[in-house]
Amino acid sequence: MKTFLQIFGAITVVLTLFRFVAMDYWWIRVFDFPHVQLTILSIVAFLAYFLRFDFKDKIDYLFAGLMLICMTYQIYKIYIYTPLASFEMHDAQKDDPKKQLSFFTANVLQKNTSYDKLNQEIKKYDADIMVFTETDVTWKNEITDSLDPAYIYKVEVPLNNTYGMLLYSKLELIEPQIKYQVDDSIPSIHTKIKLRSGDLVQLYSIHPTPPMPQHNPMSTDRDKEMMLTAKLALENKLPTMVVGDFNDVAWSQTSQLFQRVSKLLDPRKGRGLYNTFNAKNFLMRWPLDHVFASKEFRVVSMEKGEKIDSDHFPVFIKFSLEPEGASIQEPDAVTTKDLERANEQIKGTEKMPDDMY
């Protein structure tokens, strides 16, 4: 029995330490994802070990201490996303519709055919800006056939490779561009948005490729696109947002580096995990769809949408542009070490020609 408990505990320790392995192989990076599940596993392993704990054995104290450290680390990484923690991005202090903008974003799952379910969510939230990923020509047609005429601005990149992207907006888009930052088959959309107040803000919408054993066994391409976008956000002088399916969880080393380099804030911290994937599996869910924003923004509301028969849930968020309060949520300065790490991940990337819209 004790041997079994030791093996069980050792597994939780090893899985916790995998997060710190600086390698890009999919079979290592996959352990970034089930953090909630690993947290529960580490708690169970720690408590179960005391069923056979020998208070006279120094090895037991050492082993239990190691498990306690791993359990504490796992709990802390989850804690910052619970309502018990402080907000990273504060609630809106003003109610000025001209300074507000709302987003609705969804990975529709290209093979999904429940078009009506998505359209119901679109109508329910009536967002200013909508971004859809995994969209082919059929999805584009189904969405546009029932689209409110108020969405007069659009950028459409329907593709059959599960990386198609569509953007629809009630607000004016300024200089929208379709860019291929890492791969000529994986687009991103970069555009300025003119608010009803006349203020300009910057939006980057991305959907980097995930590490997968059959197609892309390394996380290199995903990490490159995230770091390229982080540097764009850092260098942009406008209030900035990054939206999309990152194929990465918020607590991974790459996502945390993305946040530090971009100096963008995560509205989930202090509010909840908002697990968007896998919508088809209750036990294996984590946050893959993200909306990050710079310090000039505050949160009016945020919700996870209903099931649309995709493997992702939609996300809705409404921001208020309040630059006068930016200093209260000022992120830390970017360190030289973080910039070096970001540049190392970008190194070797050849930018493809950009299609101008």
Is the pLDDT reported for residue 355 higher than 60? no
Is the pLDDT reported for residue 193 higher than 50? yes
The continuous run of DSSP H or E covering 298 comes out as strand 297-304
The continuous run of DSSP H or E covering 2 comes out as helix 2-17
Cα 78 off chain centre by: 15
Q: Is the dihedral of CA 226, 232, 237, 243 positive or negative?
A: negative
Q: What is the pLDDT of residue 55?
A: 74
Closest C-alpha to 287, from 259, 318, 245:
245
Where does the pLDDT of residue 167 fall: very low under 50, low under 70, confident under 90, or very high at 90 and above?
very high
Place domain 97-356 in its CATH homologous superfamily: Endonuclease/exonuclease/phosphatase (3.60.10.10)
Is the pLDDT reported for residue 24 higher than 60? no
Q: What is the pLDDT of residue 257?
A: 94
Stronger pLDDT, 308 or 348, i.e. the higher one: 308
Residue 99 near residue 320 (C-beta atoms within 8 A): yes
The pLDDT tens digits for 69-82 are 888 888 887 889 98
Q: What is the pLDDT of residue 70?
A: 82
Where does the pLDDT of residue 137 fall: very low under 50, low under 70, confident under 90, or very high at 90 and above?
very high
Closest C-alpha to 316, from 83, 108, 130, 171:
130
Is the pLDDT reported for residue 211 higher than 70? no
Is the pLDDT reported for residue 348 higher than 50? no
- CA-CA distance, 135 to 260, in Å (whole number)? 30
> What's the rounded mean pLDDT across residues 13-26?
63
- CA-CA distance, 101 to 121, in Å (whole number)? 17
> What's the rounded mean pLDDT across residues 251-269?
94
The helix/strand/coil state of 156 is strand
Name the average pLDDT for the chain.
88
**Close Cβ partners of 215 (under 8 Å, ≥ 6 residues apart):** 209
Q: What is the pLDDT of residue 356?
A: 33
Compute the radius of gyration of the chain from its Cα atoms.
21
Q: What is the pLDDT of residue 350?
A: 37
Reported pTM: 0.86
Q: What is the pLDDT of residue 58?
A: 79
The pLDDT tens digits for 79-132 are 899 889 999 999 999 999 999 999 999 999 999 999 999 999 999 999 999 999
Q: What is the pLDDT of residue 69?
A: 85
> What's the rounded mean pLDDT across residues 284-307?
95
Residue 351 near residue 181 (C-beta atoms within 8 A): yes
Pairing of strands 100-107, 129-133: parallel
Q: What is the pLDDT of residue 116?
A: 97
The helix/strand/coil state of 202 is strand
